[in-house]
Every structure is written in C-alpha cells, then in structure tokens.
Structure 1
Amino acid sequence: MPQITVDHSATLTPSFDRAAFARDLHAATVEIAAARPEACKTQFRAAEHTAFGYEDGGHAVVHVTIGLLAGRTPEVKSELTAAVLELLKKHLAGLGADGLVLHASAEVRDLDPSYTKFER
C-alpha cells in the first residue's frame, strides 16, 4: 500500500518521464496521505490504441488510480487527486504542441478489506 496504477495511451510514452513522475507522486502520497515511502508502488500500463468519442486518433488518455488502506478522509483523497493532476501537467508539459489533446484523470479509492500482500 499504496497501490498505484497509471494507465496511459502509448503515444505519451516518448514525452512522459515516468520515473520522475513516480518519484514526485510517491512524495506527494507520503506528504498528503501519510504513506510510507517504501510502501509506494507504481505500475505503468501503456495502451496501444486509444479512442475518444467518435474520433480515432488525435487524443491521448492518462488515468491514475491510487489504492490506499481505508481511513483517509474525503478531503485527503481530494487533495491527493488534485496533486496527481498537477504532477501530470508538470510531467507532460511539452504535450499538445503537436495537436494531441490530453485527457487526464485521477482517483483515490480504498483498498478492499481483503487486501493482503507478501514480500520476499
């Protein structure tokens, strides 16, 4: 915990410094949601094809999901999603000059009580 997943259009890969984004996102999660730095885990998943409405092409999508153990207030969750969107703006700042429209979103959700893990 936290379990972070970043789903994004593959067209973003060349301009998305994922390592820097993850570092900044982990720092924000520690500061805002009181997570432990060593507990932050982020996976990036690039989608080869993205469709938007009736259009095929010209759009890119990125959605960040953060799963936290239950107990954070709605205010903390809102502050964290706002921070995620600001970090996406920062780390995708050069995007759009080529006419690509970016659709970015984020959500923070409680992990199910059945969540468990192990480490080796």
Structure 2
Amino acid sequence: MPQITIDYSATMENAFDRAGFARALHEATVEIAAAKPEACKTQFRPSALTAFGYEDPGPRGHAVVHVTIGLLAGRGEETKAKLTERALELLRGHVAEAVFTLHASAEVRDLDASYRKFDR
C-alpha cells in the first residue's frame, strides 16, 4: 500500500517523464496520506489505442492519463481530494507540451477490506 496505477496513451511515451512523476507522486503520497516511502508502488500501463469522441484515433490527436491511487481505508475525503489534486498538478509538470490534447484525471480510492500482500 499504496497501490498506484497509471494508465496512459502510448502516443505520449516520449512526452511523459514517468520516473520523475512516480518519484514526485510517491513523495506527495507520503506527505499527504502518511504512507511509508517503501510502501509506495507504481505501475505504468501504456495503452496502444486512445479513442476520443467520434474522432478517428490518430497518433497525435488526443492523449489520456488516468491515475488511480489505492490506499488502505481510513483516510478522510479531504485527504483523498488533496492527493488527487496534487497528482493532477504533478502531471502538468511531468508531461511535456506536445502536439496532442491531454486529458488527465485522477482518483484516490480505498482498497477493499480483502486486500492482502506479501514481499519476497
């Protein structure tokens, strides 16, 4: 915990500083949600195709980033909202200006009570 997943359009691969974003987001999660640094884990999942409205999906038209942060239950709505806002703010700084229109979103959710993990 936290479990962080970032889905993004593969067309923005060269414009997205993923390593820098992950580090900054981990720092924000520690600061805002009282997570332990060693508990922060992020997976990036590029999407081969991004469709927007009725437009033909082109290689440079639109790009989408969605950040999902799963935390153990117990954080208040204010904490979750603050972390969501910070995630979006950090995205602005880690995605370079490019020829695509960026659609960014984020959410913080409670992990289900059945959540378990192990380290090896």
The answer to whether TM tops 0.5 is yes
> TM-score, length-normalised on structure 2?
0.95
Helix, strand or coil: the match of 1:43? Answer: strand
The CA deviation at 1:78 is 0.2
**Following the alignment from structure 2 to structure 1, what is the Cα–Cα distance between the partners of residues 29 and 62?**
28
Runs of 4+ in 1 over 6 A off after TM superposition: none
The answer as to 2:100 corresponding to 1:95 is no
The CA deviation at 1:17 is 1.1
**Following the alignment from structure 1 to structure 2, what is the Cα–Cα distance between the partners of residues 108 and 48?**
25
Give the share of equivalent positions with the same residue, in percent: 70
* Residue in 2 that maps onto 1:68: 71
The CA deviation at 1:12 is 1.2
> TM-score, length-normalised on structure 1?
0.95
* Matched letter for residue 83 of structure 1: R
* Residue in 2 that maps onto 1:80: 83
**Following the alignment from structure 1 to structure 2, what is the Cα–Cα distance between the partners of residues 13 and 72?**
33
Size of the aligned set, in residue pairs, is 117
What 5-or-longer segments of structure 2 have no aligned partner? none
**Following the alignment from structure 1 to structure 2, what is the Cα–Cα distance between the partners of residues 66 and 95?**
25
Q: CA RMSD in A?
A: 0.7
**Following the alignment from structure 1 to structure 2, what is the Cα–Cα distance between the partners of residues 19 and 91?**
9
**Following the alignment from structure 2 to structure 1, what is the Cα–Cα distance between the partners of residues 51 and 6?**
17
* Matched letter for residue 95 of structure 1: E
**Following the alignment from structure 2 to structure 1, what is the Cα–Cα distance between the partners of residues 48 and 4?**
20
* Residue in 2 that maps onto 1:59: 62
5 Å matches for 1:34-49?
34-49=34-49
